Every structure is written in structure tokens, then in C-alpha cells.
Amino acid sequence: MKIAMPARNGQVNEHFGTTQEFCIIELENGKVKSKQIISNEGLQHNHGGIANMLKNEKIEVIICGGIGGHMMQALENLGLKVINGASGPLESVAEAFAAGTLVTRPVSCGCGGGHHHHHHHGGGGCAH
């Protein structure tokens, strides 16, 4: 399967909207099979352009740090799965994802004002 991550200096770029390159990693049997950097020069903040570029690469999953809601929507509308809140070296994030051990801390960038109320999921699911 192929995954993409916004990249900067070999790490996951925390700001999806300003990233200038994406690292596309192909995973096979839980290992990084191939790695390719593609530039999205000129596409920053062009939600549809970036989403289509990634879709054309046959990406299935996008792993990122912070991402704005509109961008996330554009990607999900194309059927891509978005995992945010990841950080660290690209390959270890990819392998952790493949192994099912990726730890993410979803944070919303300051793009949409502070939403501190996302812990109330309504409808008592978990009885304490």
C-alpha cells in the first residue's frame, strides 16, 4: 500500500498547508519498500490541487501532523484516509503505521481557533 506524508528534512512536517514536499512510501509486509519525494511547489493552500496530486499517485493513506479542516475534507472527499497528529522520522512513522503501533496526538493547528471541546462525544458509550 502507498502512504504519503508531508516531509521536511526527513521528518513529518507538522504543518500540512505549508509543506513543500511529500514523501510517498510504499509499504510491503510492514517494511518500507520504496520512498519517493514529490514536490508540490506552487500548490500550497491549493486544497484540490494537493488532494488530486496525491490521489494520482494512488495513495491510500495520508499521515501528517497538523492539518486544516478544509484540507482534510478535500482529501477525504477523494476517498483518502487521513491520520493526523503524527511526528518523527518518515520511515519510522511509516513502519509504525504498518505495524499498527503508530501513536498520534491529533492537534488542530491554530487555523480554526482553539477547539477545546472535542472530548465530549455525547451519547454515553463508555460506562465508567
Kindly state the cell numbers that stand for 51.
488532494
Q: Is the pLDDT at 37 greater than 70, yes or no?
A: yes
Q: Which domains does the chain have, with CATH numbers?
A: 2-112 (3.30.420.130)
pLDDT band at residue 114, thresholds of 50, 70 and 90? very low
Mean model confidence pLDDT for the chain: 84
Region 92-120: mean pLDDT is 68
Q: Is the pLDDT of residue 20 over 50?
A: yes
Q: In this predicted model, what pLDDT tens digit does every residue of 42-81 receive, in sequence order? A: 877 777 888 999 999 999 999 999 999 999 999 999 999 9
Q: How far apart are CA 85 and CA 107, in angstroms?
A: 6
